[in-house]
Amino acid sequence: MEQKHLKRVDLIFEWDEKNPPIQVLDETLQKTPDAIILEMIDSGLKGRGGAGFPTGLKWKFTRNEDSDIKYVICNADEGEPGTFKDREILDRVPEKIFTGMAICGYVIGAKEGYIYLRAEYNFLLKSLQQKLDKFNQQLKDRQIEFTIFLRSGSGAYVCGEESALFESMEGKRGEPRNKPPYPTVAGYNSKPTVINNVETLVYTCEICRMGADKFKALGTSDSRGSKVFSVSGDTTKPGIYELELGMPLKDFIDEFGDDDAKAVQVGGASGHCVPRKKFNDTIIGFEGIPTGGSMMIFNSSRSMYNVLHDYLEFFTEESCGQCTPCRVGCQQLLKGIEAVKKGERPPSYLEDLKKLTLTMKIAAKCGLGQSVANPFISIVDNFKEEIIY
């Protein structure tokens, strides 16, 4: 398998004085929308929120929809436990986000863009709004018919799910919708909508700045480019790091962890737990284990039962509650591991619960319920003794 080694990259936060975002915008708008789409597809950029949908295709599908009204939405509802990279991007280089949105608006034919900001990031609102006002004015000065607005969430994790986010923006209870239709056909206000993660939009801006070739020289064939990681847990170097995609987890641990690291939770609560014995074989990228950015390192002092219990408590709380597999499934998983721990149920009950998570994975309505199997199975399979005893 194609493999890279850990390499720090500086694209996201780099500020090119000679070619600032607004200039990137000016240059990009000289190209045709189709040319921009081709460049995005060529770059291999996939969504950085975790799901990894090819960004160029998303733009293309939305562009192809016949509608007078379309929207660009920046998903800044960064709620995955252990993920805090969007917050930094929003704080330091919001102009790049705005530029990515404006380019997208030009490509798909949208006149309005929205940033849906996590409620807990409201402290960013004031500075974001100031910078946004400036940017909107710059668009106006250039007679670009595109305006970006800020919207604040209300604190529900599930609203990071794109269709729940639309419901929330429409003033309704944030519950995921049935799919199809997908957002490219019917998103916000049931109009064709591109919804991209904060980081994804910045990369679209960067690709326009440096060209697809330079971007795709980074990473592997399945995971082009670099990614911003939020490193936390038992590390001496917690923080935000932009790294090339496609490295083995071993490299990551060598850099950020130590010999005592027994597991890394890749991708937050809804991601996978990788035990030490698999560090060598685990590639961080779409061909291995993808992540929205969260990398949590656990050393030998940590109880993996407590880790799983925390995650399950989180999902039990943050499930929107509308679909049965997720609402009741999460409660059963939580009560289930408690019962096994207390000896009220036999260890074999964990197998019943694993089967339940497989049902949740294919029968829950949205990504929240579908992904609970990831932490559950990976923690139970790799740390069974800690769960039982």
Contact positions vs other proteins (CB under 8 A) = 156, 158, 173, 175, 178, 180, 315-325, 327-332, 335-336, 339, 345, 352, 355-356, 359, 362-365, 370
Shortest Cβ 315–other proteins spacing (Å): 8
Omega within 30 of 0 (cis) for the link into 180: yes
Shortest Cβ 319–other proteins spacing (Å): 4
Which SS3 state, helix, strand or coil, does residue 283 take? strand
Distance of CA 179 to the CA centre of its chain: 19
Q: Which is nearer to other proteins, 147 or 359 (CB)?
A: 359
Residue 307: enclosing H or E segment and its boundaries? Answer: helix 304-318
The DSSP-derived string for 35-75 is: HHHHHHHHHT-B-TTSS--BHHHHHHHHHHS--S--EEEEE
Q: Which is nearer to other proteins, 242 or 318 (CB)?
A: 318
Q: Which is nearer to other proteins, 178 or 236 (CB)?
A: 178
Q: Which is nearer to other proteins, 115 or 320 (CB)?
A: 320
Do the beta carbons of residue 231 and residue 291 sit within 8 Å? no
The 10 Å Cβ neighbour count of residue 130 is 11
Give the CA angle between residues 324, 330, 331 to the nearest 5°: 95
The rounded distance, in Å, linking the Cα atoms of 27 and 160 is 32
Shortest Cβ 140–other proteins spacing (Å): 38
Q: Which is nearer to other proteins, 225 or 325 (CB)?
A: 325
Shortest Cβ 359–other proteins spacing (Å): 4
State both tokens at 280: 């060598």
Half-sphere exposure of 174 (CA within 13 A, CB side): 22
Shortest Cβ 333–other proteins spacing (Å): 10
Calculate the alpha carbon distances from 227 to 12, 83, 243, 388 in Å: 9, 12, 6, 36
Q: Which is nearer to other proteins, 144 or 328 (CB)?
A: 328
Q: Which is nearer to other proteins, 138 or 357 (CB)?
A: 357
Q: Which is nearer to other proteins, 147 or 322 (CB)?
A: 322
Shortest Cβ 163–other proteins spacing (Å): 12
The rounded distance, in Å, linking the Cα atoms of 206 and 103 is 11
State both tokens at 361: 């994975």
Shortest Cβ 156–other proteins spacing (Å): 6
Shortest Cβ 14–other proteins spacing (Å): 37
CA pseudo-torsion sign 200, 90, 312, 154: negative
**Residue whose C-alpha is closest to residue 177's, from 196, 159, 198:** 159
Shortest Cβ 357–other proteins spacing (Å): 10
b/e 151-162 (16+ beta carbons within 10 angstroms → b): ebbeebbbbbbb
The two beta strands, 261-266 and 272-275, are antiparallel
Q: Which is nearer to other proteins, 233 or 290 (CB)?
A: 290
